[in-house]
């Protein structure tokens, strides 16, 4: 049994090496929670929340995460022991949505569980890969020249796929310029819901660019219009923001809204639901990949472990720690060599938490026992 005795919420502030711009705006400071969970044997599991400080990506924020974890979710975990991390999803089922708060805690339970078994988290999840292919996500840049320079730099580092953010006015022409310089490089676009069906004819031009996919072109809560758009495009649509659960996945697949799913542990409420979406898509030959939320090392470690499952057949957004941070919260940091991450074989998340760095970057600590 997993008997949780104490949960420590470290509210951390880290500054990205470079500002991150999407169709929604730009930010560089990232506040989030490191969840430290201690069991009755004194073992520690770690999770990381991914909600941003403002509700632009989803309705959740750092503040809503804190409220939900402290006032609703942690008390449910402390109520009684757990047989298996899969039970957390059920234990939280009375709480509506708030998936990122749920996932931060459930991730710590999974890490604790794997450490109790003394196996890597990847193995506890059923993953077999010892190495994973990764891509990189490039925010909207100040000029096409700067974008081409970044694509060149990341291609030289061996990243397996370039994700380029687009929005009206920074899309087809920009991608054509990149294609001119890199005629065969695996490319995809992420629109973060910047378009509507009125842009259908405009978006059809993407079909001439040999993109691997176009991610979330339409509204963050839509699967109907995406089905209309997918029927008009030969480029596969990948859904991100629209998919919060296995049920959303089932509906989107039945409607034909997408051909690929970007699975983000925080967006779907944790690793157990992420596995269910993975398995559902594998049974229907729908490829998935692991999206990113600009995580620090603990969240990055969870993404690496999840990506070892068989149907993560497309490179995800799990770039190396040094792409994001001057100093990460884990030792060793996540390193990408020629577009590949070697999966750690230590118990749990497989990386040690750098306590000194955590203390230095922690702006508030709450102990709940």
Partner interacting with residue 57 (select from Mg ion, ligand 164, none; CB below 5-8 Å by kind) = ligand 164
Residue 31, interface with ligand 164 (CB under 6 A)? no
Q: Which is nearer to ligand 164, 121 or 138 (CB)?
A: 138
User: Side-chain half-sphere of 284: how many Cα atoms within 13 Å?
Assistant: 17
Q: How far apart are CA 215 and CA 317, in angstroms?
A: 12
Candidates 83-91, 153-161, 217-225, 289-297: pick the segment binding ligand 164 (CB under 6 A): 289-297
Q: What does 238 interact with, of ligand 164, Mg ion, none (CB < 5 to 8 A by kind)?
A: none
State yes or no: 133 annotated in a binding site. Answer: no
Q: What is the 3-state secondary structure (H, E, C) of the chain?
A: CECEEEEEEEEEEEEEEEEEEECCEEEEEEEEEEEEEEECCCCEEEEECCCCCCCCCCCCCHHHHHHHHHHHHHHHHHHCCECCCHHHHHHCCCCCCCHHHHHHHHHHHHHHHHHHHCCEHHHHHCCCCCEEEECEEECCCCCHHHHHHHHHHHHHCCCCCEEEECECCECHHHHHHHHHHCCCCCEEEECCCCCCHHHHHHHHHHHHCCCCCEECCCCCCCCHHHHHHHHHCCCCEEECCCCCCHHHHHHHHHHCCCCEEEECHHHHCCHHHHHHHHHHHHHCCCCEEECCCCCCHHHHHHHHHHCCCCCECCCECCCCHHHHCCCCCEECCCCCECCEEECCCCCECCCEECHHHHHHHEEEEEEEC
Binding region for Mg ion (CB under 5 A) out of 65-73, 138-146, 239-247, 265-273? 239-247
- Taking only Cα atoms into account, the Rg of the chain, rounded to an integer number of angstroms, comes to 20
Closest to ligand 164 by CB, 36 vs 190, is 190
Q: Active site residue: 102, 160, 163, 264, which one?
A: 264
73 binds, options Mg ion, ligand 164, none, Cβ within 5 to 8 A by partner type: none
Judged by CB under 6 A, the chain residues 185 through 204 that form the site for ligand 164 are: 190, 192
The distance of closest approach from Cβ of residue 72 to ligand 164 in the complex, given in angstroms and rounded to an integer, is 25
Q: Which residues contact 101 (CB under 8 A, 6 or more apart)?
A: 49, 51, 60, 64, 65, 68, 69, 73
Binding partner of residue 171 among Mg ion, ligand 164, none, CB cut-off 5 to 8 Å per kind: none
Residue with Cβ nearer ligand 164 (61 or 113) = 61
Active site residue 264: yes
What is the closest distance, in whole angstroms, from the C-beta atom of residue 321 to ligand 164 in the complex?
A: 11
Q: Should residue 86 be labelled a site residue for Mg ion when binding is judged by CB under 5 A?
A: no
Question: Which one of residues 7, 9, 22, 277 is an interface residue with ligand 164 (CB under 6 A)?
Answer: 22
- Give least dist CB 192 to Mg ion, A: 6
Catalytic residue among 102, 165, 212, 275: 165
Q: Which does 36 bind (CB under 5 to 8 A by kind): Mg ion, ligand 164, none?
A: none
Which of 240, 295, 328, 333 is in the footprint of Mg ion by CB under 5 A?
Answer: 240
Asked if residue 57 binds ligand 164 (CB under 6 A), the reply is: yes
Counting residues that bind ligand 164 (by CB under 6 A) gives 12
Residue 293 touches which of ligand 164, Mg ion, none (Cβ within 5-8 Å per kind): ligand 164
Helices 271-283 and 246-255 meet at what angle, rounded to 10?
Answer: 30
Q: Which of 127, 135, 292, 350 binds ligand 164 (CB under 6 A)?
A: 292
Question: Taking CB under 6 A as the criterion, which residues in 312-331 touch ligand 164?
Answer: 317, 319
Site for ligand 164 in 85-144 (CB under 6 A): 137
* 210 annotated to a ligand binding site: no
Provide, rounded to whole angstroms, the least separation between the CB of residue 179 and ligand 164: 20
Catalytic (active-site) positions: 165, 264
Residues that bind ligand 164 (CB under 6 A): 22, 57, 137, 190, 192, 240, 291-294, 317, 319
């Amino acid at each position: 049994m997993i008997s949780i005795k104490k949960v420590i919420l470290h509210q951390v502030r880290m500054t990205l090496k470079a500002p991150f711009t999407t169709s929604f705006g730009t930010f560089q400071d990232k506040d989030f929670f490191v969840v430290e969970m201690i069991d009755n044997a004194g073992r520690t599991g770690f999770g990381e929340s991914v909600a941003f400080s403002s509700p632009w990506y989803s309705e959740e924020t750092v503040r809503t995460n804190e409220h939900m974890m402290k006032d609703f979710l942690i008390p449910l975990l402390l109520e009684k022991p757990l047989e298996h991390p899969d039970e957390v999803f059920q234990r939280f089922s009375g709480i509506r949505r708030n998936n990122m708060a749920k996932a931060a805690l459930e991730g710590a339970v999974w890490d604790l569980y794997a450490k109790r078994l003394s196996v890597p988290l990847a193995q506890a999840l059923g993953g077999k890969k010892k190495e994973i292919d990764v891509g990189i996500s490039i925010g909207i840049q100040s000029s096409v020249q700067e974008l081409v320079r970044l694509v060149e730099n990341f291609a030289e580092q061996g990243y397996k796929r370039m994700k380029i953010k687009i929005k009206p006015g920074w899309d087809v022409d920009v991608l054509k310029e990149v294609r001119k310089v890199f005629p065969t490089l695996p490319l995809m676009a992420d629109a973060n819901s910047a378009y509507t069906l009125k842009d259908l004819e405009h978006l059809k031009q993407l079909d001439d660019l040999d993109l691997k996919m176009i991610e979330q072109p339409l509204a963050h809560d839509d699967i109907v219009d995406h089905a209309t758009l997918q029927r008009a495009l030969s480029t596969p649509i990948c859904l991100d923001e629209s998919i919060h659960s296995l049920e959303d996945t089932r509906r989107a697949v039945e409607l034909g809204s997408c051909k690929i799913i970007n699975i983000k542990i925080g967006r779907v409420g944790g690793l157990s639901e992420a596995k269910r979406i993975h398995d559902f898509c594998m049974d229907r030959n729908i490829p998935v990949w692991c999206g990113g939320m600009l995580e620090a090392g603990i969240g990055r470690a969870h993404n690496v472990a999840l990506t070892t499952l068989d149907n993560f057949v497309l490179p995800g957004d799990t770039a190396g720690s040094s792409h994001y941070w001057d100093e990460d919260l884990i030792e060793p940091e996540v390193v990408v060599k020629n577009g590949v991450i070697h999966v750690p074989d230590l118990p749990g998340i497989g990386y040690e938490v750098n306590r000194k760095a955590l203390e230095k970057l922690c702006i508030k600590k709450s102990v709940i026992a």
